[in-house]
Structure 1
Amino acid sequence: MRVQEIWRYPVKSMAGERLSTAQIGPAGVAGDRMIQVRSEQGRLYTARTRPKLLRHRGTLTPEGDALVDGLPWQSDEVRQIVESAAGAGARLVQGPANARFDILPLLVATDGMLQAVGVDTRRFRPNLVISGVPGLAEREWEGAALRIGPVLIGMEDLRGRCITTTYDPDTGAQDVNVLRRIQREFQGVLGLNSYVIEPGRVSEGDEVELIQP
C-alpha cells in the first residue's frame, strides 16, 4: 500500500488543495481547517447548511497565509465572496486548534472504497487516500493503525457521511441519490476517522503498513 493523495482544507467547508508532501501532527495536516466561516454572532457555518462554500477554494501560500480563490482571506473581496456564499454578516475567523474538526483531525480513505462507490474523491474530503487496498477492506481497519515512515496514524471508526457528499465539487449541482446510495449500500459510513499517534512528514508514494491491534 502507498500514499496516493494528500489533501488540505485551509478554510473549513471550502474546496481544498492537493499536496505532494505534508507535515502531520496532533492537529492533522499542518494548516488544515485553520480558518472558519462564522456568523456575526459567532455561529459556525459549514457546507451542510451553506453548500455554496464548496464552490470556493482555500489554499496556503508558502509562508502559511490562507487564500480564498487566490485572494488574501482578510481582504474585502473575500469578505464579499463569503457573504455571497454564506449570507449577510458571514465572516472568516481563525479557529482555535481544538475546534477545527467535526470529529478527529484526519480522515483516511482508500482507493478500493472510492472505486466501489464510483464518485469523485473530493466529495468525501479525505486528508489521505491510500492505494493498494482491495475493495472495502478499510471496513476492517477500525482500531488499527497505519505506519507511514515516521508517522503513525490511529484509525478510530468509520465516518458517517452527510449531505455534503451530494454536491458536485465542480458545478455545485446536488444529487441526493449519492447519499441515499451510501446509506443503502454502505450503511452510511465510508472512510475512517483518524488521529496522529506519532507525527512527521508524509509524501505521495510513501509506503504504508497496516498494523492490526
Structure 2
Amino acid sequence: MTEARAAVAALHRYPVKSMLGEQLTAADVTARGITGDRALALHDTATGRIASAKHPRRWQRLLTLTATTDDTGVRITGPGLDTHSTDPAVSKALSELLGRDVTLTATPPAQARLDRADPDAVLRHGLTDDTPLTVSELGTGAPPGTFFDFAPLHLITTGTLDTITALHPHQPAAARRYRPNIVIDARTGGFPEDEWPGRDLRIGADLVLRVIAATPRCVIPTLAHGDLPRDTGALRVLADHHRIVPLPGLGPQPCAGVYAQVVQPGRIRPGDTVRPA
C-alpha cells in the first residue's frame, strides 16, 4: 500500500442498524466507530432480539428505509413512512410498517442477540421459511453497549469491488450492498484487504485503526437495497472465488472487506491518505 494508491474514497454511516444510511463529507471516529453509526436499533419485543436484515424473511424490509441524522436525532424515511427518533409515536409507526411489535432503542438489552440466515443455505435453496438460522451475540469485538455485530468499523477497497464486478459483470458491485463505513481507493487487483488483518493503518493525520479480521459475508449483499434489486451473485461470486478463514476456529468463509478497531481517534475525509501506521 502506498500513499499514491490508497486513499479514502467514501465514508458511510448507518444511524439505525440494518437500515440504509448516509454518505458523509467528513467523519469523527472514536473507539465506538464513526460518531452516530448504529446509534439506534429496533428491539423485537416478542423475541427479545435485535432486528437485523441478516434474518431476511422477517427483517429485509428494513433495507427499504433510510436513516439520516439531523440536529435533533435521526430521521427515518421510506415507502409509507416519514418519522423521527424524537417522535413519541416512532416505535408504533415502525411496528405498523414492519408488522411486528418493535421499539426503537439506543441501548442494547443485556446479552443482545440477533438471528442470521446461513449464507450457503441461501445460495442452495433461496430464501424460504425453512432457511436455517443461527443466533449470535452482538459486539464480539466491539465496544460494550453498541449495536455492532463484531467490530466498530468495516472497510472495503475499490480493488475488491472491481474484482467482484469482473467475476460478476452482469451486476456491477455496489459498495452499499456490503455496507462499509470506509471505502478505500486501492486498485491493486484481487482482494487487497486479505493482507491487512493484524496490521495498523493510519488514515489522514490522526486516525489509527487495527485491522482484526476479514469480513465473512452473509445474506445481506444479496438483498434489495433501496433501488438496488436482489442479486444472489453478490454473495455467490465470493462463495465460488474467495473463501478464506477469517478467524481461528472458523472454516473458509466467503469474505469481502475487513473489520477494524480504533487505536487512535481522528477526523477523516474523502481524499485522506491510507498508509501503514
Q: Do they superpose with TM above 0.5?
A: yes
Name the CA shift for 1:184/1:99 in 2 (closer, same or farther; >3 Å): same
The match for 1:126 is: 180
Output the amino acid matched with 1:198.
Q
Report Cα offsets for 1:25-44 as digits up to 9, x if no partner: 00000001011011124321
Tell me what 1:65 maps to: 73
CA RMSD between the two structures: 1.8
Q: CA deviation at 1:77?
A: 5.8
Matches within 5 A, 1:88-127: 88-96=100-108, 98-118=145-165, 119-127=173-181
Distance 2:164 2:32 in 1: 28
What is the aligned counterpart of 1:177 among 233, 243, 249? 233
- Distance in structure 1 (CA, Å) of the matches to 2:276 and 2:39: 29
Write the distance in 1 (CA, Å) between the matches of 2:216 and 2:38.
Answer: 19
The alpha-carbon deviation at position 144 of structure 1 amounts to 1.1
Q: Does 1:197 align with 2:263?
A: yes
1:71–1:78: 8 Å Cα contact kept in structure 2? no
2:123 is matched with none
Larger radius of gyration: 2
Q: Secondary structure at the match of 2:38?
A: coil
CA shift at 1:82, angstroms?
Answer: 4.6
**Residue 82 and residue 121 in structure 1: after superposition, are their counterparts in 2 closer, same or farther (change >3 A)?**
farther
Where relative contact order (Cα < 8 A, 6+ residues apart) is larger, the structure is 1
Separation in 2 of the partners of 1:79 and 1:60?
Answer: 20
**Aligned-partner residue type, residue 105 of structure 1:** P
Give TM-score, length-normalised by structure 2.
0.71
Number of the residue aligned with 1:14: 19
In structure 1, what is the equivalent of residue 64 of structure 2? 55
2:52 and 2:202 mapped to 1: Cα distance?
32
How far apart in 2 are the matches of 1:83 and 1:43? 18
Question: Is the 2:38–2:146 contact (alpha carbons within 8 Å) kept by the matching residues of 1?
Answer: no
Aligned to 1:79: 92
Q: Measure, in 2, the Cα distance between the counterparts of 1:156 and 1:36.
A: 24
Post-superposition offset of 1:208: 1.3
The size of the alignment, in residue pairs, is 209
User: TM-score, normalized by length of structure 1?
Assistant: 0.91
1:182 maps to a residue whose letter is: L
